[in-house]
Structure 1
Amino acid sequence: MMNQSLIPYQKNQDDRQVAAKEIDHKSQRCADMTEQYENGSDEKSYFTRRFCMFQRYRKNGVEVVEKLCNFVAMINKEIVYDDGFVESRYYCLACTLADGVVREVTVSSTEFSSLNWVARKLGAKAIIEYNQRRHIPAGIQTLSSKIITVRTYSHVGWRWLDGQWRYLTASGAIGSDGLANQYNVELDGKNRHYAFPRPSRIGSSATQAVLKLLELASPEQSYPLFAAIFLAPLCRFLPVDFSIFLCGTSGSFKSSIAAILQSFYGKEFNARCLPENWSSTDNAIAKNAFIAKDSIFVIDDYCLGNTNSKALESKADRIFRGAGNKAGRQRLIGGALTNQEHYSRGLIIATGETVPSALSTESIQARLFIIEIKWMNVATETLTRLQTDASSGVFALVMSSYIQWLAGHIDAFESIFKNRHRTLTQQRNRSQWHSRTPSNLAFLQIGLESALAFFRLNGTINEKEYDSLYEKGLDALVHAAESHELKIHTSRPEERFLSSLAVLFDAKKVHIVDADTGLTPRINKGLKRWGWIKRNNEYVAQGTQIGWLKGNDLYLDPQIVFKQVQSYCNEREAEPIQSSRKLWQCLYERGYLASHESSRDTYTVRKMIQRARKSVIHLNASSVYPNQPTTSKTSNKENSND
């Protein structure tokens, strides 16, 4: 027989009956569970009695009963959180101590076996017997015979569910048949505002309210934003790999405009309640951007202020680079395994007073579509009207209906959109543009086309209105792309180098000398622009000598000039040029090098300067100062191997 001394019992029979009536059916099932044990078996079995958990087994033919803990825990529900990339599991347990009170606790599957959650969740009265920790997880799982498994989706956007595409939101899943509520969607924090009303056929008044957005600012500003709204739900089927940056001074209404765009994805969003802010950690921003799949995700208020500027710029670089690459950074785990970090799966719209200097590099700016907002260009009365419609849910209803329309045609649309993007990218390709710009423009054009097609097929705009809006919108998108391309051009290393060089000359921080004499360059006019000043009827060099001039040939000392330009960038807290070799390569590829020695695999050239052979960077003087007068005495073109 079982050794009863192993089962401490302090309450009398009446007290036990009273306690049993006070607990719910889950705890009652724990207390009344019959022993799961067959006599003669060598296998361990687990059972509960008087709100304690035991194990019983045979050892050397002798029956042994051991107490594991002074509480009973049973798994009632297993929740599978699905973010569209990985699944994480949590166990919901009903735990009962000697007081008979049921405590509902939730524990991650990775933490469950460690039992570290016991003290944290159940408190000091929960006691695990000595050397029994390893048996309790198995006991809990064995005794939990009725476990309900629930799948909970923890993201916004498209999923293939029950044979059709549905768009997950905090209010349910939108499919071609409308809003379905049988799917569990759990969103935390501000992400819970990604909620839509039940889709219905929209009228002309709702369409006109949306089209008012096109009157909010200039066409080059409003049309890209309009297109972005309707492009975001297509991210699941198109590799949308750029972000939009609204740049404007304080008071330019950039946050209010961004809030209008965000309100299409939930009426609770407004200028004071946006999904994210640049003051959050980069991990928090990346995670929330990952959750906001196939939707607009606003990150508000990039402002250096009193914060660590380098850390903030590094944060922006990570977020935009991840969105542009559609991948997070890989992290090494255990020497071999890697873990995928979060990244944006929708369309980021960021706001800031200035574009971060860390984003001034060409590779990052090409992943952005920068739109400058000026307060004088914003129609404030239109903005007020748009804010009213946004808070009343008009825009969220339009987006809900738009998503339902997409859901019914996705199988056909996916190939159409991809082929259309490929065709438009080829059509928009320009030799002087960055390779990403035609693609970004094509994405926005598809967003515009999709929105207008929805309104046209819905019968809320006629064919004439469609043609007019499309023609005007296309022209505005092209002009916006050209404006953005100009920003990319000025961010290129070679352009930044040449503009910095001109500033250094004008500030008299550097100068050049004549290549033959080492004295004042022989220039008819404009000597002051090369780092010289006139004093007592004589020209005097200022600053550091960085090179030599001969005719229109400008020879620069590679080490000295690079050091001076880098120092200038540091003084301005601007992004430094990465490396001198990368810079010379960019100058060569853009045609700024007047000569170089390809046989030596170098971008420098050897020249006879002041009767000595020197390796220099050879530019045309007009590259720094276009139309600058050259020496009065014309020099012959030197060979690259002089």
Structure 2
Amino acid sequence: MGDMKDNIVDLVGKMKDKPDEQKVTIRKGMIGIEKPTDYDKEWNDLFFGTAYQVIKGKLYRVTVKDNGEIKQQNLANFAARIVKEIMRDNGQEMSLIFVIDGMVYGGHKLAAVQVPASKFNSMAWAVDAWGAAANPAPGSGAKDYLRHAIQHTGEQCERQTVYGHMGWRLIANQWYYLHGAGAVGDIEGKLSVDLSADNLERYSLPAGQVNYSAAMSKSLRILELVPRETFFTLWAVVFLAPLCEIMRRGNCEPSFLIWLLGHSGAMKSSVAALMLTHFGDFPNKLTLPANFKDTPNLLERKSFLVKDCLFVVDDFHPPTNKKEADRMDEAVQRLSRGYGDRHGRGRLNADSTAKKTYAAQGLCIITGEDVSSIGQSAAARQVVIELQKGDIDTETMTELQADAEQYSMAMRGFLEWLIPQMGTLPQQFHEQFIQLRKMASNDEQHKRVAEEISWLYMGFAAGLEYAASVGAIDEDKKVELVKESWQVFTDLGAKQAFRSNEEKTTVRFVKALVDLLATNTVWVKDIHGNDSEGQGQFIGWYDDQYYYLIIGKALSEVVKYYQAQGSFFNTTSQTLGKRLAQDGFINAVENQTSLLKKIEGKPRRVIYLRKACLKNL
């Protein structure tokens, strides 16, 4: 009785401040009220000095009326407390979470749950977490007192920041590389990282003592595989990915993605998983972090969180229906913009304020049986490499997979090697990039090609430089491989330039026209009325030098042509005319691409498409 009295007095004021007659009244008013038990004591220590008390596992609000009568208002059949406050930081957004545990009548414990701070006030989380065992008292007033009481317990609770992304982070003027099991550079283990909310926990690097020379030697074995173009490129991308933040600070951030192309059975997904084991536990293709069944929004979010690291999106495949085709095309467009332009998709909240955007922050490999047709600009952001069935056999793959843990150890060593250089590398990389881009430039190719050659070479060279520093390779072999890589990447660049040209709007238009004429889908008439070519839809006339096309009709048929192939051709007649003139496919006079010509006695507005250009294709 005495303990109960003292606690209540502390809730409403010091008893010594009360008149003697009121002290007597208070003691009389306590007769018959609920009393706390031994297992309540720990909880009541949390509420000392407040108007709240735990009695037999239930939470009460206790008040004393002016006449000394004590009133106990039951707030819930349970008590709850905030044991930890977690600030989740994904590099873009901060979200506060309370870790709350509880007790019900009889002293039975309620398991700790995580409650977003944004949902705490409603108190609906208690039933969601603990079911019918947690029963708040009715009434809005009781609910608010319950919220107030529980929140009071968090004033002195443990506070922790948990990071929810991969990659480099500057914390208290020190660089750390975050991953699912902690952070490289965090010797004392102070930092917390949790990637499980986005199913990225496999991105975890090993701890403990490592023989970095032996580990890096295992990774170097990948460079012995053929085709050299494919495996040199993949290995370069592995060691380029952790340089993204450094190059971003040096204004030369890589902005492209890799498309690993191969028919079913070529083991492209298994090879992608093998490369990904440099960053964590990805023993086979079934463990890859994403595929084209995922929504474009999810892919965009993951590409943001997998920072300074390699992201794999598996299995771009022929769609079975238009809905699937549209979703996959949107996914490719998002990935292409994210990695090629470092832009996320802008969206609005319900109140018309801008939502946070998720721009890609690492590098990406897409595996697929085909390459998406997304236009020249997007194609220039993609480096396509191929695997043929038989390039790598099952036995070799099994041997390489057995060394998978060594690859992640090699990567941890590479990251540790980078940390002391984080201050000087941005400027060094900037200067190196400018020089390499100039060496790789070619007036006949898209400017992005020279940049991609430069980035691949820089990633490859950085990996070899580290390998030499730990004794995994001698200087002569390093120089030999670096020299060979430049030739491999410039040859790849030439192929990339050709493919980019094939994706030009003008080339696609003219190629479609050639096909449409050859298959008698469209037809043109001899301008002199002597003959005709093709059948189907009429699109214009011709003579020995030109096709005189009604551009609107020709464009309409080309759009239908690509739609029938499950692709698209998005442009306007005006834009198409300008591009055809710029690329030398048509005659133009003073920026006029559609010219008047008298045909069959009437003036007709047509484009003059050179026949010779069609033959060159």
TM range (shorter): 0.7 to 0.9
- Superposition deviation, residue 118 in structure 1: 2.2
- Superposition deviation, residue 562 in structure 1: 0.8
Query: What do the CA deviations read for 1:563-604 (whole angstroms, capped 9, x no partner)?
Result: 111111111112223332222222122222222442xxx421
User: Where does structure 2 lack aligned partners over 5 or more consecutive residues?
Assistant: 1-24, 248-252
Which has the higher mean CA deviation after the structures are superposed, 90-99 or 293-302? 90-99
The answer to whether 1:318 aligns with 2:326 is no
* TM-score for both structures, normalised by structure 2: 0.87
Contact 1:82 1:153 (C-alpha < 8 Å) held by counterparts:
yes
Query: What do the CA deviations read for 1:213-269 (whole angstroms, capped 9, x no partner)?
Result: 122222221211111010010111222221111011001111121111101112443
Contact 1:229 1:261 (C-alpha < 8 Å) held by counterparts:
yes
Separation (CA, whole Å) in 2 of partners of 1:141 and 1:573: 57
The answer to whether 1:88 aligns with 2:99 is no
* TM-score for both structures, normalised by structure 1: 0.84
Separation (CA, whole Å) in 1 of partners of 2:370 and 2:391: 18
- Superposition deviation, residue 180 in structure 1: 4.6
- Superposition deviation, residue 332 in structure 1: 1.0
- Superposition deviation, residue 381 in structure 1: 5.0
- Superposition deviation, residue 58 in structure 1: 8.3
User: Where does structure 1 lack aligned partners over 5 or more consecutive residues?
Assistant: 22-26, 38-44, 522-529, 532-541, 628-642
Contact 1:171 1:181 (C-alpha < 8 Å) held by counterparts:
no
Kindly, what percent of the aligned residue pairs are identical?
26
Select 1:606's aligned residue among 596, 600, 606.
Answer: 596
Alignment of 1:439-450 (within 5 A): 439-450=451-462
- Superposition deviation, residue 409 in structure 1: 1.0
Alignment of 1:442-521 (within 5 A): 442-515=454-527, 517-520=528-531
Separation (CA, whole Å) in 2 of partners of 1:174 and 1:234: 15
Aligned amino acid, residue 250 of structure 1: S
What's the RMSD between the two structures over aligned residues?
Answer: 2.9
The answer to whether 1:163 aligns with 2:192 is no
Separation (CA, whole Å) in 1 of partners of 2:541 and 2:597: 11
- Superposition deviation, residue 8 in structure 1: 9.7
Query: What do the CA deviations read for 1:13-53 (whole angstroms, capped 9, x no partner)?
Result: 7xx64xx44xxxxx64324556535xxxxxxx545444223
The answer to whether 1:619 aligns with 2:609 is yes
- Give secondary structure in 2 for the equivalent of 1:339: coil
- Give secondary structure in 1 for the equivalent of 2:95: strand
The answer to whether 1:259 aligns with 2:273 is yes
The aligned residue for residue 4 of structure 2 is none
- Superposition deviation, residue 57 in structure 1: 9.0
- Superposition deviation, residue 423 in structure 1: 2.8
Separation (CA, whole Å) in 2 of partners of 1:159 and 1:91: 24
Number of aligned residues: 581
- Give secondary structure in 2 for the equivalent of 1:78: strand
The aligned residue for residue 427 of structure 1 is 439
Query: What do the CA deviations read for 1:76-118 (whole angstroms, capped 9, x no partner)?
Result: 1101111122221100112223232222221001111122212
Which has the higher mean CA deviation after the structures are superposed, 553-562 or 583-592? 583-592
- Superposition deviation, residue 439 in structure 1: 1.8
The aligned residue for residue 113 of structure 2 is 105
The aligned residue for residue 410 of structure 1 is 422
The answer to whether 1:123 aligns with 2:131 is yes
The aligned residue for residue 524 of structure 1 is none
Alignment of 1:489-638 (within 5 A): 489-515=501-527, 517-520=528-531, 530-531=533-534, 542-598=535-591, 602-626=592-616
Query: What do the CA deviations read for 1:281-323 (whole angstroms, capped 9, x no partner)?
Result: 2333333332221111111112235462222222222233222
The answer to whether 1:233 aligns with 2:234 is no
1:127–1:594 CA distance, 2 compared to 1 (3 A): same
Bigger fraction of residues in helix: 2
1:624–1:82 CA distance, 2 compared to 1 (3 A): same
Query: What do the CA deviations read for 1:603-637 (whole angstroms, capped 9, x no partner)?
Result: 2111222222111111211122349xxxxxxxxxx
Contact 2:82 2:100 (C-alpha < 8 Å) held by counterparts:
yes
Aligned amino acid, residue 60 of structure 2: M
The answer to whether 1:277 aligns with 2:291 is yes
- Superposition deviation, residue 191 in structure 1: 2.1
Which has the higher mean CA deviation after the structures are superposed, 555-564 or 91-100? 91-100
Contact 1:172 1:179 (C-alpha < 8 Å) held by counterparts:
no
Contact 1:596 1:618 (C-alpha < 8 Å) held by counterparts:
no
Aligned amino acid, residue 552 of structure 1: Q
Contact 1:111 1:117 (C-alpha < 8 Å) held by counterparts:
yes
- Superposition deviation, residue 425 in structure 1: 2.4
Aligned amino acid, residue 286 of structure 2: R
Separation (CA, whole Å) in 2 of partners of 1:445 and 1:570: 38
